[in-house]
Amino acid sequence: MDRVPHRLQDIDPILYFLNDDGLPTTTVVIHGANFDHFFANRPDPDEYCCLISRAQLTGRVYLLSWRSGFGTYNPVRAIGNFLSIEDNAHRLGKSLKAVISKLPWSPPKRLTLIGHSLGAHVITSALLEHEWHDTGLYDVILLGAAIGEEDYEEYTGRKFWRRCASQVRHRIINCYSGYDTQLWRRSFLRRDQLECIGRARASHLSSKIHNISFTGTLSDRWDHDYLTWFDRVMNRVYPNRTRSTAYQVEALCDCPWCEDYVMVNANEDVECPSCNITFEYRTKDDQCYWRYEPQEIECPRCEIGTIVVQAPAVEQCSRCRKGFEFDRRGSEVVYSEVAR
Ligand SMILES: [Zn+2]
Ligand SMILES: [Zn+2]
């Protein structure tokens, strides 16, 4: 029986535009798969947008999002799921050049591809499948690559690296961790002995291949989460790099007042889109701060409605619509009525 094509199983790649500071370089970040998502789901792009924004990369920056979900962990189906996901990564790699060519400024003057985990597999498949010389491909950054040097038929480790290196104008940067347990798990799931690229230095020596060890430094349980520490990782890849100050850092956080999960500009005063309280999310310590503690007071007029008061301002009772001008004396809130 023929397999019925299922729309949800499609990879459905989407290029999310993240920033453009006017410099003539283009960076595309490709995420990997996630144990916590149901099969064929798309991981939350907002989360990646926020993490990537912290690095404030220059030029045009995109996130390539794809339906990469791993499936909830079920030992019976895990191997089947994993092989389908790898197959998806491979298929996406084969069409990566076509996807990138959809960029409005194609071909970019200087293109950098960054792939995390299975996103790195997407890139290596792409480098083997097509010629990239006409695309301005400058750097390729592999973060915890979930692919082995000898996974491609007809390629030895040496041939694989030579082919990849020949596709870039500048360098291939292999960021690896010897403690990467997620990648160890891949060998376990596949029941093979092939070690992933993201676990060791490249076996082939070349001036175009640069290895950076992150062994024991990624601070997550698996030593695999390069995107959560993307800013720090980029600082290692490009020491003394220039940050794009025009790149607004964003963050997802719980509003400290209404506790809604919201996406906000970081490191500046913002209003919570849910409750309008003003606070600042600082990436320095990932905490929320406010200058004035919000206070919920009873409406002095109708005594039924409540008004949330923060900084000195004119506020209106949501019930009787009466306006009050609030001020503060120390921690005490004082008010005067405002004529309509
Ligand atoms: Zn809020
Ligand atoms: Zn009132």
Q: Residue type at 191?
A: R
Taking the centre of ligand 2 as the mean of its atom positions, its distance from the CA of residue 319, in whole angstroms, is: 5
Tell which CATH architecture fits domain 7-237: 3-Layer(aba) Sandwich (3.40)
Band of pLDDT at residue 5, cut at 50, 70 and 90: very low
Taking the centre of ligand 2 as the mean of its atom positions, its distance from the CA of residue 325, in whole angstroms, is: 13
Please give the DSSP secondary-structure letter assigned to residue 148: B
- Residue 8 pLDDT: 39
Average pLDDT, the chain: 88
φ/ψ of residue 72, rounded to 5: -60, 145
- Residue 109 pLDDT: 82
Taking the centre of ligand 2 as the mean of its atom positions, its distance from the CA of residue 309, in whole angstroms, is: 14
φ/ψ of residue 112, rounded to 5: -120, 130
Cα-atom radius of gyration of the chain, to the nearest Å? 25
Q: Locate tokens 């989460």: which residue?
A: 225
Q: Dump pLDDT digits (tens) for 193-231.
A: 668 999 999 999 999 999 999 999 998 888 999 999 999
Q: Residue type at 299?
A: C
Band of pLDDT at residue 57, cut at 50, 70 and 90: very high
Nearest ligand by distance to the CA of 319: 2
Average pLDDT over residues 308-318: 90
Please, which residues bridge with residue 279 across strands? 270
Q: Is pLDDT at 159 greater than 60 in this prediction?
A: yes
Nearest ligand by distance to the CA of 257: 1
Taking the centre of ligand 2 as the mean of its atom positions, its distance from the CA of residue 328, in whole angstroms, is: 20
Q: Where is average pLDDT lowest: 41-45, 117-121, 170-174?
A: 41-45
> Residue 252, Cβ neighbours under 10 Å: how many?
16
Q: Give the integer Cα–Cα distance in Å for 267 and 261.
A: 17
Q: Dump pLDDT digits (tens) for 18-44.
A: 999 999 899 999 999 865 545 556 788
Band of pLDDT at residue 6, cut at 50, 70 and 90: very low
Nearest ligand by distance to the CA of 261: 1
Nearest ligand by distance to the CA of 300: 2
Can you give the residue ranges of every domain in the chain?
A: 7-237, 250-289, 295-338
For ligand 2, a single-atom ion, the residues with CB < 5 A are 299, 301-302, 305, 317, 319-320
Taking the centre of ligand 1 as the mean of its atom positions, its distance from the CA of residue 252, in whole angstroms, is: 12
